[in-house]
Amino acid sequence: MRIGELSERTGTPRRLLRYYEEQGLLAADRAPNGYRDYPEGCVDRVLQIRGLLASGLPTRIIKQILPCINDPRAIHVSDPTPETIATLEDERRRMTDRIECLLRSRDAISNYLEAVRRAQRPTAAR
Amino acid sequence: MRIGELSERTGTPRRLLRYYEEQGLLAADRAPNGYRDYPEGCVDRVLQIRGLLASGLPTRIIKQILPCINDPRAIHVSDPTPETIATLEDERRRMTDRIECLLRSRDAISNYLEAVRRAQRPTAAR
DNA sequence: TCAAACCCTCACATCGGTGTGAAGGTCAAG
DNA sequence: CTTGACCTTCACACCGATGTGAGGGTTTGA
């Protein structure tokens, strides 16, 4: 698929798809005319990237994480230097922190909304 | 406590504490000499702020969320305009998305690390 | 064959969070 | 009284993600 379709299906500006490629997060081969040609799987991949970016991870880290997600079960034990492993462990910890922070805050919002709801519908269907 | 202590106890540059105040996330009263004077609770508050920032939320949103977290059980039903409520619901959804994305990715990393570990210690204590 | 709708690269701009430092006031200890 | 460690405000700089648009090629359909 070409960049326009990928853009539409992922809700991502073309500009950013090119940027992700430049950052090494996304690969596309090229049609003879130079147009990018994306395989189907890119849709999910782009959504992953956007999700992680929205969660505060920089492209540099996402680049290291993506292979772990994509390799469908088949780990290439080829590359992982002890250094890479350390980075991954580090980043996993950071992600756990984020998750906990978000969970706490989300629950607080839920409680708040719930309380407001109760206060607004004072002693209704009870 | 003064800004230096708060900075040290939260691992946050003074610069940012002032920035958070400027953004309306943090309040300090002033000593007669103009120095900021923070109450004890600010330590937790700052950590919350940093956690949410690291999770990709902008100060504008954090500002709306913090009151829900701080109000210890006692909701001020005073302010919440229907508009504010809508924003909160929206943001809660976004946070849920983030949480799910992070969970998926973290689990993928865990699986990966686990697999690498198994591959590196080939048929050990078994 | 021409217009519209794609695509390309390149480059400059914006925005939010953060770094850094200048210029100066306050306070405690020697 | 001075020195050093704090604090103040202000301003400019940086970095990563994103917006925008110029200048130009390709494809499709009227």
User: What pLDDT digit, counting tens, does each position of A43-98 carry?
Assistant: 999 999 999 999 999 999 999 999 988 775 666 656 678 888 999 999 999 999 99
- A10: domain CATH number is 1.10.1660.10
* Helices and strands in chain B: count of H runs, count of E runs: 5, 2
pLDDT of residue A83: 85
Chain A residue whose CA is closest to B118: A77
Most distant CA atoms of chain B, gap in Å: 70
| pLDDT value at B111 more than 50 | yes
Q: Are residues A34 and A94 located together in one domain of the fold?
A: no
CB-CB under 8 Å, B89 with A116: no
Q: What is the mean pLDDT of the segment spanning A4-32?
A: 97
- DSSP code string of chain A: --HHHHHHHHT--HHHHHHHHHTTS---EE-TTS-EE--TTHHHHHHHHHHHHHTT--HHHHHHHHHHHHS-S----SS--HHHHHHHHHHHHHHHHHHHHHHHHHHHHHHHHHHHHHHHSTT---
Closest CA to B116 of A106, A78, A121: A78
Which of A53, A110, A119 shows the shortest C-beta gap to B77? A119
Residue nearest to nucleotide D15 (CA to C1'): A58
Q: Are residues A63 and A88 located together in one domain of the fold?
A: no
pLDDT tens, residue by residue, B79-105: 678 888 999 999 999 999 999 999 999
Calculate the angstrom distance between C1' of C9 and CA of A36: 13
pLDDT of residue A126: 44
Tell me, letter by letter, the H, E, C secondary structure of B43-100: HHHHHHHHHHHHCCCCHHHHHHHHHHHHCCCCCCCCCCCHHHHHHHHHHHHHHHHHHH
| pLDDT value at B24 more than 70 | yes
Task: Give ∠ CA B2-B30-B8 in degrees, rounded to 5.
Answer: 15
Please tell me the total count of domains within chain A: 2
For residue B20, the SS3 value is helix
Q: Are residues A36 and A67 located together in one domain of the fold?
A: yes
Give the whole-angstrom CA distance, residue B65 versus residue B49.
Answer: 10
- Mean predicted lDDT score pLDDT of chain B: 91
| Residue numbers of the domain that contains B43 | 1-75
pLDDT tens, residue by residue, A29-47: 999 999 999 999 999 999 9
The answer to whether A16 CB sits below 7 Å from nucleic acid chain D is yes
CB atoms within 10 A of CB A77: 11
Give the whole-angstrom CA distance, residue A36 versus residue A101.
Answer: 39
Tell me how close the Cα of B21 comes to any Cα of chain A, in angstroms.
20
pLDDT of residue B60: 97
pLDDT of residue B119: 79
Q: Are residues B65 and B41 located together in one domain of the fold?
A: yes
Q: Are residues A62 and A108 located together in one domain of the fold?
A: no
Q: Are residues A67 and A91 located together in one domain of the fold?
A: no
Q: Are residues B92 and B30 located together in one domain of the fold?
A: no
Q: Are residues A97 and A109 located together in one domain of the fold?
A: yes
